[in-house]
Chains A and B, each alone.
Chain A
Amino acid sequence: MKKRIVSTLVLVLSLLLCMGVSFAGEVIKVGAGQPITGRFAFAGKHIHQGLMDSLDYANEQGGVGGMNFKYIYEDTGYDLKRAIASFKKIMAQDNPVMMYGESTGVGKAMAPEINSRYHVVYGSTSFSEELADRQKNPYTFVSGPTYAQQFGVLLKYIAGQPKKNNKPHRVAFFYSDTEFGRDPIPFARKLAKELGIEVVAEEVTKVGAVDITSQLLDLKRNKPDYCIFQGYVVPPIPEVIRGAKDFGLDIKFMGTFWAMTKMLLDKLGPDGEGYMGVSPYSYWYMDEVPMIQAMHAYSKKHHPDVAYRPSSYMQGWFTGMIYVKLAKLCHEAGLPITGENLKNMIPKVQNWDTGGLNGVVSFANSNATATGKVYKAQGGKFVAVSDWIKLDE
């Protein structure tokens, strides 16, 4: 009797072990160090939710070749040291093939080790040019256009607008004195020159600056037709727009991704009417977009009390879509899903229909999509005023 029990136990245990092995083989692990707390939490928690939902949605659709995604995450509090520690912790414990990180700083700090040791595909909250540089960092990608490419989209849009009295368009750059603010400026200067746009002023402030009088006076002196903000989330954009209104300046204000949020429009109130900018993604209220419809359906099922998802959620969701796409490409090519193979698939993402979330995109010359749409605020919502603008065409 005892012998039978022992042999049954052995059989059950070995079966369980085998099942464990087969389960382990059917999971594609995605690790993430997310800034769920800290000063970036306002976006971080939505990015986290977006990425988690996107992977779960892919699982509901059948995963990739029968394999499901497993999302492993940690809170990093937007702290460089903690973020690196959780990267290493997740790599050591779970050894995922894809990773997600919280900032440009972490991406840059980890890039050498990702290239030489970890060999994982790495996405992040950052739109920095350096992380989209395929020659330097082949494993890292940007979930949309880089800041420079976003500026490119705006400048291309401006160049296509009718000129006042047949004179070149006059543009001002208004940016914060941070990496986030300065990242696209050299490229933007060069491109403006190529497109025949005159850069008449460059205003630099600290993040969250309140006293912007001297910058406003400078804008008044130089009379730009357009003013593009970079490197801010909310302040001092409302102050600048209101100040310009008080001075009676006729300037079209524009922003890039982080300054294209509902949060900013809410702060601007009626002054936000006509505010423009570029975003790589469609907005939650654009019901006609197929991928947004899919999100709505998913949300209705899993988060029935959610009424709105901000653009940072879209960023997380789109990053999830890229992970799934890379895994699918690997699977279609009959290759095992490893970091190395996934990396090789990044340049093979060509003319990919993202269901309207990000247009039809390619990772053509860099590990970024180089595609964006120009929106204009009307009645507290963003309305598209251009089609998807591709920078590399």
Chain B
Amino acid sequence: MHIGDFKETYSSDQAVFINATSRFWLGVLFAVLFLFPFVAGDYLLFMANLAGITIIGAVGLNILTGFTGLISLGHAAFIGVGGYTAAILSTRFDLPFLLCLPLSGLMAAFFGIIVGGPSLRLKGLYLCIATLAAQLILEFVFVHWESLTGGIRGMNISPPQIFGYVLDNDFKFYFVTLVMVILCVTFARNLFRTRVGRAFIAIRDRDISAELMGINLLQYKTYAFALSSFMAGISGCLWVNFLKTVTPEHFPLMESVRYLAMVIVGGMGSILGSILGAIFMTIVPELISTFLGFLVNIFPTAMSFLFPLQQVIFGLLIVIFLVFEPHGLAEIWRRIKNYFHLWPFEH
């Protein structure tokens, strides 16, 4: 049971880790995350890398959509900009991975700022359509600027190196992904303890009031686009270096929709929500497919009926989660935690 949690100062109210218990469990989590690759096989490591890269992208989108209230359907394209920047810089200019990483983020942020420009005039669905246009234009550029992007065939890159150490398998790459996830999540979590982060939330809640409070809407909306795209760029750079290949097919419109779904399922305006949403959207389809694969082994004749069920089950799960908890997985997690905080006294 968790009692005696009095907050006597503003800083204690704003603390990320409110007490020793949460610090302890965070330590346990880090230990598990660090030890995980030593016990996991190739497949699990691939899934972990995939989930990690997706988390960075989802946290980025949550900054824009969940915290600032600007819906974007162009997130996959920004990830693509990051990915292509990384591929071009490492193949054409032989830049090291550690330099490619921030540069990919900056390039994506630059495009984010351009696309975010109209956001001062456009809101809601209108902005959504504007970002959709960005997605389509960027996809077109990936395909048709052949001399730069390699066109439809895309580009292959060699495994990234850090100080001469070649990251040529999922095990080694895991640590890079882990560090980047920790950095991005820490940054995002702390962002909302600063003036900038609070301004984002104010804009989301009511932009006119925010402006009356002295928040420059254009400036802060641009910040939101830049930060969100920066993380998308980082995610794209990791994705390309992880797969060692990039083609326009990696960043379709559906991928943008998937990211939006992650943010909604996980919990809008919650960093933990982005993490849970990304993990949910990456891992759950695999779990369902493993389960159905197991069933197919038992009933081989039902294959044509069982495999298509995958999408149906996944869709249903999303609907059920949202019906029972519209605030997403993060809220479910919070309720579970609260239950144990008060256990064994429910009220």
Q: Is A91 part of the binding interface, using a Cβ–Cβ cutoff of 8 Å?
A: yes
Interface of B is mostly: helix
Partner of A74, one of B42, B244, B249, B289: B289
Please indicate the chain B residues that have their CB under 8 angstroms from the CB of A36 in the complex. Answer: 303-304, 307
A92 touches B156 (CB 8 A): no
Chain A stretch 72-121: residues in CB contact (< 8 A) with chain B: 74-75, 77, 80-82, 84-86, 88-89, 91-93, 105, 108-109, 112, 116-117
Rounded to whole angstroms, the CA-CA distance of A218 and B292 in the bound complex is 50
Which residue of the partner chain B has the closest CB to A182? B152
Which residue of the partner chain B has the closest CB to A75? B307
B227-265 vs A, CB cutoff 8 Å, 1 = contact: the mask equals 000000000000000011101011000000000000000
Rounded to whole angstroms, the CA-CA distance of A93 and B293 in the bound complex is 14
Interface of A is mostly: helix
B156 touches A178 (CB 8 A): no
Rounded to whole angstroms, the CA-CA distance of A348 and B168 in the bound complex is 31
B310 touches A179 (CB 8 A): no
A85 touches B293 (CB 8 A): no
Which residue of the partner chain A has the closest CB to B282? A81
Which residue of the partner chain B has the closest CB to A44? B307
Q: Is A45 part of the binding interface, using a Cβ–Cβ cutoff of 8 Å?
A: yes
A174-186 vs B, CB cutoff 8 Å, 1 = contact: the mask equals 0001110010000
Q: Is B132 part of the binding interface, using a Cβ–Cβ cutoff of 8 Å?
A: no
* Given A74-B289, A82-B289, A179-B153 contact (CB < 8 Å): yes
B245 touches A75 (CB 8 A): no
Q: Is A354 part of the binding interface, using a Cβ–Cβ cutoff of 8 Å?
A: no
Please indicate the chain B residues that have their CB under 8 angstroms from the CB of A88 in the complex. Answer: 42-43, 46, 170
Rounded to whole angstroms, the CA-CA distance of A202 and B64 in the bound complex is 43
Please indicate the chain A residues that have their CB under 8 angstroms from the CB of B245 in the complex. Answer: 108-109, 112
Q: Is A130 part of the binding interface, using a Cβ–Cβ cutoff of 8 Å?
A: yes
B247 touches A112 (CB 8 A): no
B6 nearest CB across to chain A (Å): 47
Chain A stretch 166-194: residues in CB contact (< 8 A) with chain B: 177-179, 182
A82 touches B153 (CB 8 A): no
A91 touches B42 (CB 8 A): yes
A75 touches B41 (CB 8 A): no
B250 touches A80 (CB 8 A): yes
* Given A45-B304, A109-B243, A178-B152 contact (CB < 8 Å): yes
Please indicate the chain A residues that have their CB under 8 angstroms from the CB of B293 in the complex. Answer: 74-75
Q: Is A205 part of the binding interface, using a Cβ–Cβ cutoff of 8 Å?
A: no
B275-292 vs A, CB cutoff 8 Å, 1 = contact: the mask equals 000000010011001001
Most buried by B among A81, A86, A112, A179: A81
Rounded to whole angstroms, the CA-CA distance of A178 and B153 in the bound complex is 9
Rounded to whole angstroms, the CA-CA distance of A17 and B285 in the bound complex is 36
Partner of B311, one of A37, A93, A179: A37
A182 nearest CB across to chain B (Å): 6
A77 touches B310 (CB 8 A): yes
A294 nearest CB across to chain B (Å): 23
Which residue of the partner chain B has the closest CB to A112? B244
B307 touches A37 (CB 8 A): yes
Chain A stretch 51-87: residues in CB contact (< 8 A) with chain B: 74-75, 77, 80-82, 84-86
Please indicate the chain B residues that have their CB under 8 angstroms from the CB of A74 in the complex. Answer: 289, 293
Rounded to whole angstroms, the CA-CA distance of A91 and B169 in the bound complex is 14
Partner of A177, one of B42, B47, B143, B168: B143
A114 nearest CB across to chain B (Å): 12
Q: Which residues of B contact A (CB under 8 A)?
A: 41-43, 46-47, 50, 143, 151-154, 156, 159, 168-170, 243-245, 247, 249-250, 282, 285-286, 289, 292-293, 303-304, 307-308, 310-311
Apart from A82-B286, A85-B43: 5 A-B pairs, beta carbons within 8 A: A36-B304, A41-B308, A84-B243, A130-B153, A179-B152
Q: Which residues of A contact B (CB under 8 A)?
A: 36-37, 41, 45, 74-75, 77, 80-82, 84-86, 88-89, 91-93, 105, 108-109, 112, 116-117, 130, 177-179, 182
